[in-house]
Structure 1
Amino acid sequence: METAEVLTPTQPDFRYRHLSDVISTLGGLWRRRLYTDLTLVTDGKYVRCHRVVLASASSYFHARLYNGKKENTTDKIFINDVPRDILGDVLDFVYSGECRLTEENGEDLLRAAAIFELGALRDMCDFFLKDFVRAKNALRLYKMARATKSPRMEEKAREVILNNFMQLWHSKLFKHLSHKELISIIKRDDLVTPNEDVVCGAVLAWVNADKTRRKHAMGEILRHVRLPQVRQELLRQLVEEEEAAMEDEVSTQMVQEALTLLETPTARHDVTTPAFNPRQETKQDDVLLMVGGVEAEGARFRSRQRVHAYNLPLRKWFPLAPLPLCCDSGAACCVRGNDVFVSGAGESRQGLVRYDSESNTWSMLAPMLVGRRGHCVVAVGSYLYVMGGISENDGTPSPISPRSRSPRPHITTTIERYDIHDNAWSVVGALAEAVWGASAVMFRDKLHVLGGFHSQDKPTAIVQTFDPGSRTSAVSSQLPFPVALSRAVVSEGSVVILGPSGNIFTSKDCWRFKVAASIPDFQRALFGVACHGKKVFVAGGRFGDRVHDEVLEVDVQHGTMVKLPQPLPRPAWGCGFVKVTLNRSHMVRAGSEESDY
């Protein structure tokens, strides 16, 4: 008779807890500067730390403290290439595995991680910075990514360069690429260019920027230009006028082969140049995204799951993938990188959804801890911050019975933070004063909540500031007069606020505000505002029973406004309205076709 196997519970692995305890204790010792035995000197400032911790975390410091035969007894190391504040962030990471990472300090932290050979910090910066690659910084970040061995950022920057080649090849940074970096771009089939003449011209501009040093690389580079697709006049110019090509035998031979092909098509089988295939163009466009909102349906209003993109170059509306949940005027919307997040979605008001701009798909994320409407949501680094609003229940004791929880809607001060990497929410602080219907921006490393309602219909002029680092809030300033149901954006280094009466406030420091302009005959609320370059776009909105469908283009600096000839697909209010960049292939249907979603 077989005996039954006795199953015993798996014994926990206590090593991880031990290591976590050790790391936590080390961080505490360092912050109190206990048992330190090494001083780092940078910018004339001294930072005490522990030799064994730095040597364990960084091969750079290990090499500085050990010469291969014996330990170096020095008690000071001078750091010349890393500023004091960045060194502090690096040491935070060394001792805790965490540090302050923002768009402003991310590049400096990545450089420091490469210098100190901190692989985990480099990977964290790489993962973070890839979401902030834009046409204006793509070349710089591409060079940095290759220098620091940051594959995610390198891939994203290359993609942006390929899609914006026509704009970028004229820039100074393009002419500072190494020949290997140049080849890595022009060899790609998905390089977006109207013709191969542009690529050839870009190569010549690059060579002529430093002809003496670069002409030797001409032959290697031309191997990756589709020479048989270049006009004959330009090819002849190469071998007759361009010194770099004339002096290079390989270049001359390739150009002559291409000319032979163009002049005698039947001779193609004799040509050795492999560059015959056309490039596969993948065009990307700047678009204004209209997300959800409320539309008129006869005498009634209905919240929608529609999403439309207004293609700015094509000046046309296109439908995109619909939202997985209904989003009305109580939801809030923000952009992080090139993806869109909507909070307060669905009937529970707890829903959080994300739009992936690369795949044109929506996904459901972890719900907020407490459902709320009329709140603000702002993306900061790897987090979303949800502030204020009207909450159904945030655990506040009922005024009738302290033992029960109030189910009544009430204005909340609670600030929730969503960790994008962990897909998890936590409460991280509270506003100084409870408001709903406010607008908010991230400006100079702090979150600013602008105006809003103190009660159901009492607007306020206060400006509240929340510091994500210290998790503290304070009333920091005042708007020129009370305003609620406003929208705010950051444009050209200034905060721009549009109120329901059409007044536009601006500030360069979120401390002093002025009325910069006013939109004539503008009387509405729950409109959308998005920023593109120096222009601010205003869409939809509602006043009484009237729902608007126009889109206004406002130049705040010059105080001018024009109405776009293409209105919203339907009159709507309470919709999310943001600017992103989309692949044109997502916008395959002409116009904004009707649908029931």
Structure 2
Amino acid sequence: MESTHSSAIRHTSPDHSKLLLSNLHNLYVAQDFCDIQVCVGDQVFHSHRNVLSAASSYFHAMFSGGLAEMNKEKVFIQGVDGNIFKIILEYIYSGVVLIEDITVQDLLAAADMLGLEGIVGACCSFLRQQLHPSNCIGISLYAEKHACDQLKSAAQHFIENNFSKVSQEEEFCSLSKDLLVSFLHSESLVVENEYQVFTAAMQWMLSDASQRRKHVFEVLAAIRFPLISQRQLETYIESCSDLSLKVALRKLTQDFRFDRRLPYELKTGRLKPYLFQPRKSARKNVYVIGGYTRDQGGRWSDSQSLCTVECFNTFHEQWRCIPPLRHSRSGHGVVQLHGLIYVIGGESDSLIFDNMECLDPTTNKWTMLPSMMLPRCGLGACVFEDSILVFGGWVGSEIGDTIEKYDPGLNVWSELGQMETVRYAMNVLEHQGLIYVVGGMSDMGTEMQAVESFNPVTRDWIPLASMQIKRAYAGIACLEDCLYVVGGWNEHFGALCTVERYDIEKNSWSLVTPMSTARAGASVCAVNGFLYVIGGRTSSGEFTAPSTLNSVECYDPHMDTWVMMGAMPSSRCEAGIAVM
């Protein structure tokens, strides 16, 4: 029967493009139907005009734009290495490109010239993964040269986030004056304090003082001198090796010394207001997390674990509340890594935790993460490179001697090794690749004064000079390559007001001015060149349990003095602390 209706179907083969590309690659390998020879250096490549034109805007213009090469059987490519062009041809015919450290820059430059956006994008992604304090400036300049805006942005963001480390590298001193000034003006520099920005600028100046001292006022105009202590500046000027720069610095500091004595309104009238504000990305917000509280005169059993989190802006001296933890806890570890705050272990009502929570300060949201291999409280925690390490602590009914490592990239915990000396309620701090373990309680239940360093790479433990006073439940922070161990508990003296400073280079301890309030289990951190000591518990009567504190003290290491700050909204002890 004859049909009165016509029918049609449009079929798309999912494998057609892959098969076509495979066949084209076979033609290229066999050199079949080749109609063009591309000469690159001393190498000749047989290819197909239509394939090259379809893949590359450069070749499309060459073969169709009326250029001299349009009808020639042999064309010459200048400025590209033959081996690099071979990699590019392989990509054109297969869609696969091999990118390596030794070829990536030449490959990106050649692909940029030939208009191969796929290779350019792949090279940019590769270089983003290779960003390091030693190469990020070079990558940023290279990205700008080839108009790779996303790579340039990523490199500059890396420089700002790692400014202190980047400024110690050779590349930093090769920066142009204009690029240096643009970085020094950035609000996004992640620094401990403004003094780090100042010393980085001076390092650049001194690396070629004879040529650069003429730029001193332009470069240092970006430094927020009112945020740097006068004593620090005077000490630096005294040690400056270049006489002309020393004179210029004295002139600058004399002006600012006068401005410091003026009321705030007059200061901001004479100087730009931003000079009196910390950079937006500077570490200035202190997060005090969890802990426990106990009212004065209360019994030991009256302590209450906390899930609350309070944030202190050290510049404005204001407190605000942050969304609470999912689990109330005290005696936990807290670390900061890649802009996130991790809260690890701890205990509540004699239940020891193995879980971990993570706070994103940009969204103020908590997330539960994989648990440790063992539950721990009274542990020590720190960051090493891109991992989190936890040490010792109470593990069930005994003191743990293991070290666990958390890899945020893999989202897994693993065992790293064992402690040389078992302890809990100790201080743990990483500094320049070594981890310092200080004091704590021994397996005999007595306070310790022993100090050790641990190298996570070699797994070696080294005994160091002991503290002058045995202490556990102390706080610790690092200022200017010195460790400060603050307060703590001693069986004979109760809560301690003493503070010891450890000189890493000399391997020696000394006492500094004590706090006005004796306290154990306080939260301690370093911000903008000062020590902040928050909360804790103090000694009480013979028949009452120690009460928790809400007071805050601040220590200036250059003046060796303490001042009382505004009180925390709630009293707490054995809380975790992080600075963002």
Q: TM-score, normalised by structure 1?
A: 0.51
C-alpha separation in 1, matches of 2:102 and 2:466: 39
* Equivalences for residues 478-497 of structure 1 within 5 A: 478-497=466-485
Structure 1 equivalent of residue 459 of structure 2: 471
| Alpha-carbon contact 1:143-1:177 (below 8 Å) kept | no
Q: Distance in 2 between matches of 1:455 and 1:508?
A: 28
Secondary structure, in 3 states, of the residue corresponding to 2:362?
A: coil
Equivalent residue number for residue 356 of structure 1: 360
Distance 2:437 2:106 in 1: 38
Q: How far apart are residue 177 of structure 1 and its match?
A: 4.1
Distance 2:352 2:486 in 1: 29
Q: Tell me by how many angstroms 1:421 deviates.
A: 0.7
Distance across 1 between alignment mates of 2:438 and 2:107: 41
- Tell me the secondary structure at the aligned position of residue 529 of structure 1: strand
Runs of at least 5 residues in structure 2 that lack an aligned partner in the other structure: 1-79, 87-97, 109-122, 163-171, 190-210, 212-278, 489-495, 539-544
Report 1:182-581 matches (<5 A): 286-296=284-294, 299=298, 300-328=302-330, 330-345=331-346, 347-392=351-396, 409-455=397-443, 457-500=445-488, 501-509=496-504, 512-543=507-538, 544-564=545-565, 566-580=566-580
RMSD: 4.2
Change (3 A) 1:469 1:115: farther
Structure 1 residue 438: Cα displacement = 0.8
Give the distance between the partners of 2:461 and 2:82, measured in 1 at CA.
Answer: 43
Displacement of 1:182: 6.5
The range that moved more, 517-526 or 110-119, is 110-119
Shift of 1:144: 5.0
Distance 1:456 1:555, change over 3 A: farther
Determine the C-alpha separation between the residues in 1 that align with 2:281 and 2:506: 38
Shift of 1:450: 0.8
Q: Which whole-Å deviations, capped at 9, do the CAs of 1:198-236 have from their partners, x for residues lacking one?
A: xxxxxxxxxxxx9xxxxxxxxxxxxxxxxxxxxxxxxxx
| Cα displacement (A) at 1:466 | 1.6
Moved more, 379-388 or 332-341: 332-341
**CA separation of 1:463/1:326 partners in 2, compared to 1, >3 Å: closer, same or farther?**
same
Separation (CA, whole Å) in 2 of partners of 1:523 and 1:304: 22
Question: Post-superposition shift, 1:574?
Answer: 1.1
Distance 1:153 1:459, change over 3 A: farther
**Post-superposition CA distance 1:375-427 (Å, at most 9, x none):** 100011210000111111xxxxxxxxxxxxxxxx1112100000011110000
Q: Is the 8 A contact 2:427 2:438 kept in 1?
A: yes
Contact 2:292 2:573 in 1 (8 A): yes
Residues of 2 paired with 1:67 and 1:144: CA distance?
Answer: 19
Distance 1:563 1:113 in 2: 56
| Aligned-partner residue type, residue 360 of structure 1 | N
Identity %: 17
**CA distance in structure 2 between the aligned counterparts of 1:350 and 1:152, rounded to whole angstroms:** 39
* Structure 1 residue 324, shift from structure 2 partner: 1.7
Question: Structure 1 pair 484/297, CA: closer, same or farther in 2 (3 Å)?
Answer: closer
* Distance in 2 (alpha carbons) for counterparts of 1:319 and 1:382: 29
**Aligned mates of 2:304, 2:152 — CA distance in 1:** 46
Q: Measure the CA separation in 2 of the matches of 1:121 and 1:457.
A: 53
Task: Sort the Cα spacing of 1:555 and 1:172 in 2 relative to 1 into closer, same or farther, 3 A.
Answer: same
1:450–1:461 Cα contact (<8 Å) kept? yes
Q: Is the 8 A contact 2:139 2:152 kept in 1?
A: no
SS at match of 2:421: coil
CA distance in 2 between counterparts of 1:446 and 1:341 reads 21
The separation in 1 between residues aligned to 2:485 and 2:104, in whole angstroms, is: 38
Equivalent-residue separation in structure 2 for 1:354 and 1:553 (angstroms):
28
State the structure with more CA Rg: 2
Distance 1:441 1:112 in 2: 40
Q: Which secondary structure does the structure 2 equivalent of 1:558 belong to? A: coil
Residues 500, 512 of structure 2: 8 Å contact kept: yes
Per the TM alignment, residue 160 of structure 1 is displaced from its structure 2 partner at its CA by 7.2
Q: Structure 1 pair 147/530, CA: closer, same or farther in 2 (3 Å)?
A: farther
CA contact (8 A) 2:552 2:567 kept: yes
SS of 2:303's equivalent in the other structure is: strand
- Taking the aligned partners of 1:525 and 1:473, their CA distance within structure 2 comes to 27
Quote the offset at 1:365 in angstroms. Answer: 0.8
Q: How far 1:145 moved relative to its partner? A: 4.0
Superposition deviation, residue 352 in structure 1: 1.0
- Structure 1 residue 559: Cα displacement: 1.1
Report the alpha carbon displacement of residue 111 of structure 1 after superposing the two structures with TM. 12
The CA deviation at 1:547 is 1.5
Structure 2: distance between partners of 1:350 and 1:511: 38
1:505 to partner: Cα distance: 2.0
Gaps of 5+ in 1: 1-62, 70-93, 98-109, 130-136, 162-170, 192-209, 211-281, 393-408, 581-597
Which residue identity is paired with 2:406?
Y
Q: Aligned partners of 2:511 and 2:382: how far apart in 1?
A: 24
Q: How has the CA–CA distance of structure 1 residues 113 and 508 changed in structure 2, closer, same or farther, with 3 Å as cutoff? A: farther
Summarize the Cα distance change of 1:370–1:120 in structure 2 as closer, same or farther, 3 Å threshold. Answer: farther
Distance 2:333 2:428 in 1: 11
Structure 1 residue 123 displacement after superposition = 3.8
How far 1:508 sits from its partner (Å)?
3.3
- What pairs with 1:106-255 in structure 2 (closer than 5 Å)? 122-126=127-131, 145=140, 147=142, 150=151, 153-154=154-155, 156=157, 176-177=177-178
Report the AA paired with residue 554 of structure 1: Y
1:297–1:502 Cα change, 3 Å: closer
Contact 1:503 1:515 in 2 (8 A): no
**Kept in 2: contact 1:374–1:390 (CA 8 A):** yes
